[in-house]
Chain A
Amino acid sequence: MSGEAMIDQWYPVGLISQLLAKGRQTLLMGETIYVSCNAVGKAIVTTSDGRDLPVTERYGHVWSSLGLPAAPLFDIPEAEQPGRRLVDVGVVRVRCSPLRAVENFLDIAHFPFVHTDILGAEPHTEVENYKVEIREDADEVWATQVKFYQPQAARSASGGITTEYMYRVPAPTCSILYKTCPPRPSEWDVITLFVQPLTEELCDVWPWMALFDDETPMTDLIHFQQMIFLQDRSILENQIPRRLPLDPGMEIPTRADLTSVAYRRWLKRHAFTYGAQLVAQ
């Protein structure tokens, strides 16, 4: 298996709200695992040969690892703020590399074409300059000062606004998006993409949100995010090569792809290569 460095990372393996005592079988990096809970509802994750795996319950999800995580799961301090609605969006399976799912989440340029009249619209297709860095202290990829015109930026938005975004990649298959919060302009909405790598070319995607929105019914919030993600799914399943190319010879990025370039560079630096293509074929 490629990508040994990724063994020691945390991955989402289920919703806390849907834990069952009888357990659920799933895959983590090609290995069969069982996610269940004990008599007091605490999550248990085991391998098929009965080995107990590390478990963390946070951000609505059960997290586990086939290896030994050196650090606790990353923090999302904003998600702890009181008054936020926490939204379990549910799982969607995608026949694509887990890294490709994250990379697509980081891309803004596709909004007018894939999420037409929602997250973007022609002719407002230009991606203005934004700032990208690999923050050495936190060892995370950050994109800031991202601005984009959106006809319906969120379920709570009525009419077009220029939305501001920040993207953050704290783990190889997780990304957090901070986004203008229409009902509360001084705060950021938190929208995450947690990806469970089933194999190098198959993943379960668990979007999750922490929003300031007291008006919209929970089901509408879930449907909005599922609609967005399902518009991406058919695109993701048709990307070629199936694995994320880390060889700079494969593709010619443009300025709008700076976040993707930094993400790939960061993956390569850490040998986070489960789901990646290292040499152009």
Chain B
Amino acid sequence: MRPTKQFATPPRRVALFVTCLVDMLYPEVGLAAAELLERHGVEVVFPYEQTCCGQPAFNAGFRDEARALARRYLDVFEPFVQQGMVDAIVAPSGSCTAMVTHFYSVLFEDPSMAADQQRAEALAAVTFELTEFLVDVLGVTATGARLEGKITYHASCHLLREMGIDRQPRTLLANVEGAELVDLAGHDECCGFGGLFSIKNPEISTAMGRRKCLNLEQSGADAVAVCDVSCLTHINGLLSKQAQRIRAVHIAEILNSQVDVAETPAEPQRDEAASSTSKPPAEGGQPRRWQDVR
């Protein structure tokens, strides 16, 4: 599909591009992603200067603003790659990865920005979405996760169509022990978030989301795995308001065995001491509940 770096030996260290939504709203997703990588022999570095990839500005048509943030991303991450401090950049988000790997080249399309275009291309070649990195680069197909319950999978739009990533998350989910993977009608249909679309066209966005929630209900799943917290926020926002039982969970948390899907949800805040362990929940260990918004 897209040109990515072929690693002669497995990458040893990556920079985590955590994304602003995960950073501020779902930090446990970032921690789960980091833990997953570490458990598979990859050291994780976090460049603190990172903020936002610029996608909201780009999608709204504010290309100058988006370009400024794109250049900032390049300024922040490039040194880590160029100086050999990291072999790759990994993000727990399909849409943010798509922004870097596909849409930065749109921002720098004009011939006058050829230099930035080259920088963007170079960085795009080593920027990966989490499941893409696990499966395609590290060759991981099972993360040792254990889960009781039925899970299904919603394919986020940018992940599926811009990045062409679908087989990878499904493979990883299929190998979660104990979990029953069930089909979701309309699994590749948009959840209706679409960024600012959810506010500019709230009625349409809600109608699309409700259709997704209905399909989720009918799937019989206890939880739906998603690779993007944008979809997750929209879906959970509707499910919670509509008092439906099923919840959307980020795939990183499922693959890191952070979640007990069959139990009813409890408080959102995670136990900090527990976050530094990387063992799956076992007897004596408190199974962690996924973030729930009541």
Q: Do A and B bind each other?
A: no
Enumerate chain B interface residues (CB-CB to A < 8 A): none
